[in-house]
Amino acid sequence: MAPHTVTLALVQMAMHRDKASNVAKARAAVADAARRGAQIVVLPELFASPYFCQVQDPDLFELAEPVPGPTSEAIAAAAKEHHVAVVTPLFERRAAGIYHNSLVVYGPDGTALGMYRKMHIPDDPLFYEKYYFTPGDLGFVTVPTPFATLGPLICWDQWYPEAARVSALQGAQILCYPTAIAWHPKEKARFGAEQLAAWQTIQRSHAIANGVFVAAVNRVGHEGPADGGLEFWGHSFAADPFGVVLAEAGEGEETLVVPLDLSRQEEVRRNWPFLRDRRIDAYGGIASRFGGSTSP
């Protein structure tokens, strides 16, 4: 097939306490990415604030905004100004007492092309997301843009092959994973390399199993107490439909601008036809929690 190149930007940021400065930094990154040829820009999970889920504090619900709201409108305006699509993660206030970890994809004219609400919500030390976020109720979605069809997912979703598969079956060409993943500093020396490798491996496996591009966009920097907190490890990357890493960031602030040849998807799927050979008649057990029963 003839090449069909789309240029993707992965914005790896460190966050400040001030929401306005984070939004301004994101807008500047969108402008920079557009100048460098990007057509689709992906921002990190919850980019408008520090990762507040390290603690359970009811006052932190004040960080949430309706959609549309000030943060989403600011990024929509940047998308329109620079004629790019932007994957925009948000702390969404849907109604009193109902909050979501969400994202909106804005098109190059500034209109909202689609929304996704995080489906898998973790609850681990310093990742107390179940306190803040209602699980998503929109299901797994695909969002056509003028440049490519996106399968937007968020952070903890990246560990679930079902999420990647359903998105791919709905026509996603690029799975986008805005992320906030980090080391516990005291555990880094012992477990850090293994954790990073597992994070990269699972997402590359989604690319291979589904014949899609994958873009994982993390934040960077230490957040929380100096003697604890979290160290966000960066390493944002893009992989092609055979899991080949096309570009990878380090552990500092960086915007990767990566050309993706979408014809590669057809090439890979013709030679490794995993979707063709699926036994959809035999997968009923996937809907069970554990064991062979299809009951919850």
Which CATH number fits the domain that encloses residue 240?
Answer: 3.60.110.10
Query: Which residues have a catalytic role annotated?
Result: 45, 118, 155
CA distances from 151 to 13, 68, 115, 135, 216 (A): 22, 21, 11, 18, 12
| DSSP β-bridge partners for residue 223 | 230
Is 39 in contact with 7 (CB distance < 8 Å)?
yes
292 lies in some domain: no
Q: Determine how many CB atoms are found less than 10 A away from the CB of residue 135.
A: 13
CA-nearest of 231, 182, 236 to 214 is 236
293 lies in some domain: no
> What pLDDT does 291 receive?
81
> Does the pLDDT value for residue 246 go beyond 80?
yes
Grade residue 292 by pLDDT with cuts at 50, 70 and 90.
low
116 lies in some domain: yes
Kindly report the average pLDDT of the chain as a whole number: 96
> What pLDDT does 295 receive?
55
Mind listing the pLDDT tens digit for each residue in 84-100? 999 999 999 999 999 99
> What pLDDT does 2 receive?
80
Q: What is the mean pLDDT of residues 27-44?
A: 98
| Residues contacting 248, CB < 8 A, separation 6+ | 235, 236, 237, 256
- Pairwise CA distance, residues 173 & 169, whole Å: 10
- Pairwise CA distance, residues 218 & 283, whole Å: 33
35 lies in some domain: yes
Q: What's the gap between Cα 199 and its chain centre?
A: 13
296 lies in some domain: no
> Does the pLDDT value for residue 1 go beyond 80?
no
> What pLDDT does 294 receive?
55
Length of the chain: 296
Mind listing the pLDDT tens digit for each residue in 133-150? 999 999 999 999 999 999
61 lies in some domain: yes
Domain enclosing residue 95, as ranges: 5-287
59 lies in some domain: yes
- Pairwise CA distance, residues 18 & 50, whole Å: 9
**Domains contained in the chain, number:** 1
- Pairwise CA distance, residues 176 & 256, whole Å: 14
Grade residue 293 by pLDDT with cuts at 50, 70 and 90.
low
139 lies in some domain: yes
